[in-house]
Amino acid sequence: MRLSRYFLPVTKETPADAQIVSHKLMLRAGLIRQTAAGIYAWLPLGLRVLNRIEQIVREEQDKAGAIELLMPTVQSADLWRESGRYDAYGPEMLRFKDRHEREMLYGPTNEEMITILFRDAVKSYRDLPRTLYHIQWKFRDEVRPRFGVMRGREFLMKDAYSFDLDEEGLRRSYEAMFVAYLRTFARMGLQAVPVRAPTGPIGGNLSHEFHVLAETGESAVYYDAALEDVTHEELLSADASTIARLTDLYAMEAEEHEKVTECPVPADRLRTRRGIEVGHIFAFGTKYSASMGMTVQTSDGGNVHPHMGSYGIGVSRLMGAIIEASHDDNGIVWPEAVAPYRVGLINMRADDGNVTSAADDIYGRLQQAGVDTLYDDRDERGGAKFATMDVIGLPWQLIVGPKGLEKGVVELKRRATGEREELSVESALARLTAA
Ligand SMILES: Nc1ncnc2c1ncn2[C@@H]1O[C@H](COP(=O)(O)OP(=O)(O)O)[C@@H](O)[C@H]1O
Ligand SMILES: [Mg+2]
């Protein structure tokens, strides 16, 4: 993409209303724009990152055997009356009426809807187990939307729902999602700690939150220092023993930790850090299948209410969490896996025909090789171009200028480390097109 034809409203000023670094950088780098309290437009560069995060989430859900569908954002109040949650949910639910005075709402979550979809279609044990998921916008009228997309009112969530014949099956489905979550966050370069969570209004008996450790996190987390020793490779290839190890290790949110009278972790191993909740999984059993009358026939002719779980990931919140975990004084440092473009190509002298034809040629060859490239071909000062590339945080910068070209070289800069290297155009291209 040529920057001269792109829409990238980068700003130098630090926005006054942004308190945390990810929010500031998302505004400065032209990723998002607030259009109403807690509601954001995703600008082109931000949308590319959001799509990449969403795709990693999708791939890991698919790998775990979950099946994608798409449920609507608008739901009818009657659906929520069936489970009894319409009155229980409170003012976070955005309620409105259609032209026929029918009560409607903008979905804050989808347990009720998935339950009727499944209930009306599935009658036999042969169709279980199943896990279904969708990636859809949610609305929760948060009292205090803040920290940008971290706590928005409209936000993108992946929510999955599992259906099993019995508790044992539910435990297996829960563990499959647990593993998928570990892999999902690890692929994004995040260290996410699974924290045993109280089950709250969704009910049930087993629940974990996944927290990315960051100073600006909204929750305080207590955990066993041994959790820090779990390697990236272990998370990517997590098996039953990794799950057992992770769930046996102590990790609690502050409110839960306060209730613990005798702490199971020796004081010298107990760590406290702040965390951002990026995922939350629940095994709640028959709560909805019983209240909404869903039964399936068992192999011996009996009837049971399926045991269910629900599994959320804050897709839009993850973008904030990734930036909190990966930035420096000059801007965002995207992990390769979610970067909006892999390479930022800088033409240092757009007013110089030779430099421009060399840079154009490199751009063409990168495109041909399928390398996502953002090409700064604007007639601007070099300093301004460097600042823009640094703030938007693409993994590689390739700098083409008149002095280098005289010597037959270009400069390659790695954003994460700031290392710069002079090399021939051919070697630079070879480096960037290698997988
Ligand atoms: N207001 C919000 N803005 C952005 N992401 C959110 C918001 N509320 C929840 N999420 C994300 O969706 C995931 C699932 O939500 P859930 O656990 O049901 O919400 P809560 O933590 O508010 O009870 C959370 O782990 C979080 O990552
Ligand atoms: Mg939660």
**Distance between Cα 9 and ligand 2 center (Å):** 33
Q: Among residues 328, 359, 383, which one ends one of the domains?
A: 328
* Ligand 1 contact, 152 CB (< 6 A): yes
Q: Is the same domain home to 168 and 296? A: yes
Contact 62, 158 (CB under 8 A): no
Q: Is the dihedral of CA 330, 331, 332, 336 positive or negative?
A: negative
pLDDT higher than threshold 80 for residue 154 = yes
Percentage of residues of the chain with pLDDT beyond 90: 86
By alpha-carbon position, which residue is closest to atom 15 of ligand 1?
Answer: 312
61 confidence band (pLDDT: 50, 70, 90)? very high
Residue 4: inside a domain: no
Q: What is the pLDDT of residue 201?
A: 53
**Distance between Cα 210 and ligand 2 center (Å):** 9
Residue 2: inside a domain: no
* Ligand 1 contact, 140 CB (< 6 A): yes
Q: pLDDT tens for residues 338-391?
A: 999 999 999 999 999 999 999 999 999 999 999 999 999 999 999 999 999 999
* Ligand 1 contact, 208 CB (< 6 A): no
Q: What is the pTM of this model?
A: 0.96
Q: pLDDT tens for residues 201-213?
A: 555 578 999 999 9
Q: Is the same domain home to 26 and 164? A: yes
Q: Is the same domain home to 267 and 405? A: no
The domain that holds 30 is classified in CATH as 3.30.930.10
Residue 403: inside a domain: yes
Q: Is the same domain home to 20 and 73? A: yes
**Distance between Cα 279 and ligand 2 center (Å):** 7
Burial code (b: 16+ CB inside 10 Å, e: under 16) for 244-260 equals: eebeebbbbbeeebeee
Q: Is the same domain home to 296 and 389? A: no
Q: Residue 276 CA: which ligand 1 atom is closest?
A: 27
- Across the range 324-334, mean pLDDT stands at 97
By alpha-carbon position, which residue is closest to atom 1 of ligand 1?
Answer: 151
The domain that holds 405 is classified in CATH as 3.40.50.800
Structure tokens at 178: 């647990």
Q: Residue 200 CA: which ligand 1 atom is closest?
A: 23
Q: Is the same domain home to 127 and 184? A: yes
Give the count of alpha carbons within 13 A of 301, CB side only: 0
Residue 100: inside a domain: yes
- Across the range 306-320, mean pLDDT stands at 98
Q: Is the same domain home to 32 and 152? A: yes
Residue 3: inside a domain: no
Residue 136: inside a domain: yes
* Ligand 1 contact, 217 CB (< 6 A): no
Number of domains in the chain: 2
* Ligand 1 contact, 211 CB (< 6 A): no
Q: pLDDT tens for residues 384-403?
A: 999 999 999 999 999 999 99
Question: By residue range, what is the domain housing residue 367?
Answer: 341-433
Q: What is the pLDDT of residue 108?
A: 98
Contact 188, 337 (CB under 8 A): yes
Q: What is the pLDDT of residue 200?
A: 60
Q: What is the pLDDT of residue 250?
A: 87
Q: Is the same domain home to 255 and 353? A: no
Q: Among residues 270, 301, 328, which one ends one of the domains?
A: 328
* Ligand 1 contact, 278 CB (< 6 A): yes
* Ligand 1 contact, 389 CB (< 6 A): no
Q: Among residues 328, 349, 377, which one ends one of the domains?
A: 328
Residue 216: inside a domain: yes
**Distance between Cα 323 and ligand 2 center (Å):** 20
Q: Is the same domain home to 367 and 265? A: no
By alpha-carbon position, which residue is closest to atom 11 of ligand 1?
Answer: 314
Q: Is the same domain home to 132 and 69? A: yes
Q: Is the same domain home to 279 and 398? A: no
Residue 56: inside a domain: yes
Q: Is the same domain home to 114 and 57? A: yes
* Ligand 1 contact, 277 CB (< 6 A): yes
155 confidence band (pLDDT: 50, 70, 90)? very high
The conformational region for residue 342 under phi > 0 = left, psi -120 to 50 = alpha, else beta, is alpha
